[in-house]
Amino acid sequence: MSFNTFGRVFRFSTWGESHGPALGAVVDGCPPGLTLSEANIQPFLDARRPGTSRFTTQRQEPDAVRILSGVFEGRTTGTPISLMIENVDQRSKDYSEVAKAYRPGHADYAYDAKYGFRDYRGGGRSSARETAARVAAGAVARLVIPEVTLTAYVCELGGDAIDPARFDAAEIARNPFFCPDPEAAKRWEAKVDAARKSGSSLGAVVECVASGVPAGWGAPLYAKLDSELAAACMSINAVKGVEIGDGFAAARLSGETNADPMRPGTDGEPEFLANHAGGIAGGISTGQPVVVRVAFKPTSSILTPVETITRDGEASEIVTKGRHDPCVGIRGTPVVEAMVALVLADQKLLHRAQCG
């Protein structure tokens, strides 16, 4: 309900700038009695962490999380959980150029237009560093939904898609691209290397599948599960599109081909013969896997000079030097997974509130 808070009953607020002393999240509404320590959170931060391969920014951040409240004797108490990550590698570079001129595609101009001035060091609040706080909060959310298994991966990079026939979930952790298709991973290596060397950047599509979501989560009409997922994912830096199930492709199908027929399942639950809907109907989960797809634009930080204006409105040109991800979609993968976890935790508790 606030600008930097997300969720309705399981809520989190994030704070912090790219070059401030620290960043963090406050998770409120977490059920009591869940086993939680830094060890539950750190692996997810490590997956998102910069500087782990040559395909991401070279900024070195340990992203070590500290739990400052809400946990007693290893269990959540039901009170707010404060998570803090100190910034370590804020390079004291010269920001005078970014301070003076707007980087097109970045938030620079929009922030100045809104607030009158901005913290220009590393993008300030608009930096993707903020997503570390989301990933930390997401790790807490996972504890709330142990019935759900989340699998996020890059399914397309620079326009080159994986082959679904070669999908192997075990591959995701084996390459620096969160790529489930080993052959695509090889192709992407060359692609990202080329972009990196030429100072260019690439877009990507991330898919997240949540299996184990029971039927019944979500709520008409403005807290629909798909509406919440769309808001959550579209709030991630560099995201320009969100699809549920077949998404835009569904708009090209006929009603017959788009149908998800049902038959009695062996376990008493219905069995679905297809999942064009991505596990959501009428804004409520159907018990099928929930499928979300998210489009990341190529980052606007490139070495090719781009025409721009200065704060004073003068014509200028800008080149974004510094340490940047050649493809932000890669490290966006754990962020998408975290946001999906956060939405599902909230929806589970909301469902319990109304329907017992």
Site for its own copies in 317-356 (CB under 8 A): 329, 349-356
Least CB distance from residue 48 to its own copies, whole Å? Answer: 16
Does 79 sit near its own copies (CB under 8 A)? yes
Q: Are strands 160-161 and 239-244 parallel, antiparallel or unpaired?
A: unpaired
CA distances to 2, 42, 51, 296, 300 from 46, in Å: 28, 6, 10, 21, 25
CA torsion through residues 121, 124, 126, 127, sign: positive
Rounded to whole angstroms, the Cα distance separating 184 from 171 reads 11
| 37 annotated as ligand-binding | no
Q: Could you tell me which of 29, 50, 27 has the C-alpha nearest to residue 40?
A: 27
Q: Quick one: 100 exposed, middle or buried, by C-beta within 10 A (0-12, 13-18, 19+)?
A: middle
Does 176 sit near its own copies (CB under 8 A)? no
Asked if 12 and 137 count as a contact pair (C-beta separation under 8 A), the reply is: yes
Rounded to whole angstroms, the Cα distance separating 253 from 250 reads 5
Does 231 sit near its own copies (CB under 8 A)? yes
**Minimum CB distance to its own copies smaller for 150 or for 205:** 205
Judged by CB under 8 A, the chain residues 11 through 50 that form the site for its own copies are 11, 13-17, 20-24, 26, 28-33
Least CB distance from residue 98 to its own copies, whole Å? Answer: 13
| 252 annotated as ligand-binding | no
Among 242, 290, 340, 344, binds its own copies (CB under 8 A): 242
Does 162 sit near its own copies (CB under 8 A)? no
| 126 annotated as ligand-binding | yes
Q: Quick one: 79 exposed, middle or buried, by C-beta within 10 A (0-12, 13-18, 19+)?
A: middle
Least CB distance from residue 101 to its own copies, whole Å? Answer: 9
Does 136 sit near its own copies (CB under 8 A)? no
Does 138 sit near its own copies (CB under 8 A)? no
| 200 annotated as ligand-binding | no
**Minimum CB distance to its own copies smaller for 17 or for 61:** 17
Q: Which stretch binds its own copies (CB under 8 A): 44-52, 64-72, 167-175, 181-189?
A: 64-72
Within 13 Å, how many C-alpha atoms sit on residue 242's CB side? 20
The residue with tokens 């030097």 is 321
Does 276 sit near its own copies (CB under 8 A)? yes
Please report, in range form, the residues annotated as the binding site for FMN: 125-127, 237-238, 282, 297-301, 323
- Residue numbers in the known binding site are 48, 54, 125-127, 237-238, 282, 297-301, 323
